[in-house]
Amino acid sequence: MHLTSQEVERFYTIWFPLLHYVNQQRKLVPSFPKVWRDAHVPSEVAVLLRDALWKDDGLRKAFIAENPAHLSQEDLALVESWQHRVSGDFFILRHLKKHSIFLSSGSPHAYGVLGLTGPIEEVIGPELPIYVKAVLLPFEDRIIYDSLLSAYPIYFGAGYRSSFNDTYRDIQEREGIITRLPPQNDDSDPERIKSSNKKVLAAFQKALGQSGLSPKMVQEHTSQLTEFANSFLLKKISPSLLLDITPQDLATYQAQRKGSVNLISFKRFIWFLRDTGRMDWDEAEGWLAFLKRK
């Protein structure tokens, strides 16, 4: 959940000279150390320089061009990659084995973020969710933050927590957790779609079991949707998710398929999407009306 000691040293060997350079250009504080070891910098000083850095990307580009710290080409390339940073407010939802989950406010995406010298949980505490201001940075093929987290003093009740959980579930099923910057997601990537459909089918199967159906019927309904997803949705010119199925998809599938289609399986699947908030209620009612006419 955090960088190795060698990676920590690499990050701060870049970060401190970069902030030192910002202060040389902007004269925001009396002084800022070039070297991070044994340095004691108040957080409000670091935040002031950090904010100036990310506000004017010309500072980062000039640092790369001048290279006052005599960094290696690999380290300069890392600084160059910080053009893909993600800044803003985030809800930290989970501390997992590999990373902590940062959910962006606004257009929601979930990022898997590593700590620096220790797990993020040790920085902000175990009480979740927590609302923070942060800047996420690419660190090779992983995501870190720029060493500064500002927490907002907000408590979230049960309703908000439930909403966060639903959003996190939807993100996991649709696009997955972003673990590198810039994101590598491709909306038409068959592997991503297959992974999404697998998660949705597992949840569907679990819901069928909890409804009291026999194991045989649970298997039959799950198998019908699995076959539809794999043999039709994935084979379309533009492959699509089970979460985005349309009545036209089903009509085309029926016309192409040899043998009958169990429409009850699709009805139960639409009920599942509707009742779990994965599909809009009105859209689900339109679907059910379509199935009734079949």
User: Cis (ω within 30 of 0) for the bond into 182?
Assistant: yes
**Which tops the pLDDT comparison, 207 or 107?**
207
Grouping H, G, I as helix, E, B as strand and the rest as coil, residue 12 is helix
Tokens describing residue 35: 């070297």
Q: pTM for the full model? A: 0.90
Instruction: Give the helix ranges, DSSP H, for 232-262.
Output: 247-256
Q: Write out pLDDT tens, residues 224-263.
A: 999 999 999 999 999 999 999 999 999 999 999 888 899 9
CB within 8 A of 131, min separation 6: which ones? Answer: 89, 90, 91, 92, 151, 152, 154, 156
- pLDDT at residue 186 tops 70: no
Average pLDDT over residues 176-186: 88
The residues with which 110 forms a beta bridge, in sequence order, are: 103
User: What's the pLDDT at 188?
Assistant: 72
Model confidence at 60, pLDDT cuts 50, 70, 90, reads very high
Of 250, 1, 294, 268, which Cα lies nearest the Cα of 142? 1
CB within 8 A of 261, min separation 6: which ones? Answer: 224, 250, 253, 254
User: What's the pLDDT at 257?
Assistant: 87
Cβ–Cβ < 8 Å for 141, 156? no
Structural fold of domain 85-174? OB fold (Dihydrolipoamide Acetyltransferase, E2P) (2.40.50)
**Residue 81 to residue 11: CA distance in whole angstroms:** 13
Domain-wise residue ranges, the chain: 5-82, 85-174, 190-293
CA triple 99-103-109, angle to 5 deg: 105
User: What's the pLDDT at 106?
Assistant: 82
The residues with which 104 forms a beta bridge, in sequence order, are: 90
Average pLDDT over residues 191-208: 95
Q: Write out pLDDT tens, residues 115-160.
A: 999 999 999 988 899 999 999 999 999 999 999 999 999 989 999 8
**Which tops the pLDDT comparison, 104 or 187?**
104
